């Protein structure tokens, strides 16, 4: 079967972000960008499915500005066969991305779509579920194990309090949690080869999807700073402070 994997270009997770002085958004000028960590796990899982002979082709897709092609090239270097770039400079919310991906699912007819569980910029955790709803497919979210068995897939999910395994009929949508796998690094020869792999570029208009959303971002602020604390010298002093100063014991 064909596996479609969605990736997102986000701020590198090691970067300490800064809010713009006018509070309009986070400042992303000259900031290091990378593939969202949960998407790396999604690409890795798709490539492993191909290595096991379960997947026949891995197609990477992204929605974003022209620069997002870097992340598609990374996915190609990691083992994806071809890529689809849906180019837009607009701020695409989860619902718009899910609608765009649904069109791609319609065209490509994959047996499975793998996405990260959330992007570390907007922290929404919505796109995979929305895509499942729009394509009328079952969903296995927050997956820590994916096992394809004939026309079904068993997905072990990380839920509050433990693990839950569900059986889904294929095609299905899967979103990755951290412990699903450990993504590999791209090797230099593969990075070179990835430059020659095919990449289709489309626009939201080509797919007939409106990107604009009814949610507007009014303001972005830094969270309240915690005031600096003190270092205590001993366990006795710690207990004393907690009892008499903080009054939490």
Partner 1 sequence: MSILVLADLHEGQLAGATAHVVAAAKAIGGDIDVLVAGEGVQAAAEAAAKLDGVSKVRVADNAVYAHQLAEPMGALLVELADGYTHVLASASTTGKNVLPRLAALKDVSQLSDVLAVDSADTFKRPIYAGNAIATVKSDDALKVITVRTTGFDAVGDGGSATIEAIDTVVDNAQSSFFKQELAESDRPELGGAKVVISGGRGMGNGENFKLLDGIADKLGAAIGASRAAVDAGFVPNDMQVGQTGKIVAPELYIAVGISGAIQHLAGMKDSKVIVAINKDDEAPIFQVADYGLVGDLFEILPELEGKL
Stretch 198-227 residues interacting with partner 1 (CB under 8 A): 213-223, 226
Q: Two tokens at 190?
A: 């593969």
Question: At its nearest, how many Å lie between partner 1 and the CB of residue 128?
Answer: 8
Residue among 134, 137, 60 at smallest CA distance from 102:
134
53 sits near partner 1 (criterion: CB under 8 A): no
Residue 22 or 236: the one with the smaller Cβ distance to partner 1 is 236
User: Can you give 20-71 as a three-state secondary structure string?
Assistant: CCCCCCECCCCCCEEECHHHHHHHHHHHHHHHCCCCCEEEEEEEECHHHHHH
**Where in 180-199 is the site for partner 1 (CB under 8 A)?**
none
Distance CA 48, CA 54 (A): 9
**Where in 118-137 is the site for partner 1 (CB under 8 A)?**
120-134, 137
Please report which helix (H) or strand (E) contains residue 176, including its range.
strand 172-176
Question: At its nearest, how many Å lie between partner 1 and the CB of residue 227?
Answer: 8
162 sits near partner 1 (criterion: CB under 8 A): yes
**Where in 10-49 is the site for partner 1 (CB under 8 A)?**
11, 13, 16-17, 19, 26
Q: Which of 56, 109, 165, 203 touches partner 1 (CB under 8 A)?
A: 165
Cα angle for residues 74, 4, 128 (degrees, 5° grid) = 100
**Where in 70-99 is the site for partner 1 (CB under 8 A)?**
93-95, 98
């Amino acid at each position: 079967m064909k596996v479609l994997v969605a990736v997102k270009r986000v701020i590198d997770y090691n970067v300490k972000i800064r809010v713009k002085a006018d509070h309009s958004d986070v400042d992303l000028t000259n900031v290091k960008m990378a593939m969202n960590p949960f998407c790396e796990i999604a690409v890795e899982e798709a490539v492993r499915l191909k290595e096991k002979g379960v997947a026949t082709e891995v197609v990477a897709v992204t929605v974003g500005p022209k620069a997002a092609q870097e992340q598609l090239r990374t996915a190609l270097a990691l083992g994806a066969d071809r890529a689809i770039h849906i180019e837009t400079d607009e701020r695409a919310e989860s619902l718009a991305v899910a609608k765009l991906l649904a069109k791609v699912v319609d065209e490509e007819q994959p047996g499975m779509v793998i996405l990260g569980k959330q992007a570390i910029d907007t922290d929404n955790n919505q796109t995979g579920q929305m895509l499942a709803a729009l394509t009328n497919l079952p969903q296995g979210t927050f997956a820590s194990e994916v096992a394809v068995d004939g026309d079904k897939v068993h997905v072990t999910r990380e839920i509050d309090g433990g693990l839950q395994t569900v059986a889904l009929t294929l095609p299905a949508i899967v979103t990755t949690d951290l412990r699903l796998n450990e993504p590999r690094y791209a090797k230099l020869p593969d990075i070179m080869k990835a430059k020659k792999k095919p990449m289709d570029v489309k626009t939201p208009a080509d797919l007939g999807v409106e990107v604009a959303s009814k949610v507007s971002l009014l303001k972005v602020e830094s969270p309240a700073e915690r005031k600096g604390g003190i270092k205590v010298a001993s366990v006795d002093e710690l207990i004393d402070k907690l009892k008499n100063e903080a009054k939490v014991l």
